Amino acid sequence: MAAERILVIEDEAGAREALKSLLDEEGYTVATAETGLRGLERLNEFHPDTVVCDFYLPDIDGLQVLRAVRSLSESGITVIVITAGCGGEEAESTLRREADFFFQKPLDLRRFRDVLQSSRGSGTSRPALAV
């Protein structure tokens, strides 16, 4: 099986590069974007199986990215939203319902790897799991 394709959308360069390095080491094919809008452009160019998206981005937020991915994709792309806090209980509750997976920063790397491994190659959307 070919390596799964993961698009990382993260505005903080250090975090973006750290995620890319981790995912490269795990054998994934990785593309990155520094803004939500650039991430959506990359979605159409790169055709990822999974999108890992920060909630706070300089242009549109992670919830907007999540909803755009859902509306643009017919292939069941897995969406993982990561955040250090997402603007209140309502926003967090919405993300927990709509994202396939939701992680608080700092990432628990073991659980993050487990989630990626469990969703690898499945090609189907799973119910949200807050970790």
pLDDT digits (tens, 9 = 90+) for 94-124: 777 888 998 888 899 999 999 998 877 654 4
Q: What is the mean pLDDT of residues 57-77?
A: 88
| Superfamily (CATH) of domain 5-130 | Response regulator (3.40.50.2300)
Stated pTM of the model? 0.85
Q: Are 123 and 100 in contact (CB under 8 A)?
A: no
Which of 56, 53, 48 has its CA nearest to residue 19?
53
Q: Give the confidence band of 72 by pLDDT, cuts at 50, 70, 90.
A: confident
Q: Which residues does residue 33 pair with via DSSP β-bridges, in sequence order?
A: 9
| Residue 24 pLDDT | 96
Whole-number Cα distances in Å, 76 to 66, 70, 73, 90, 105: 12, 8, 7, 25, 25
pLDDT band (50, 70, 90) for residue 127: very low
Report the pLDDT value the prediction gives residue 87, as an integer from 0 to 100.
Answer: 61
Both structure tokens of 68: 């755009």
* Residue 40 contacts residue 62 (beta carbons within 8 Å): no
Query: If you average pLDDT over residues 3-19, what whole number do you get?
Result: 94
Q: Which among 18-32, 92-106, 117-131 has the top mean pLDDT? A: 18-32
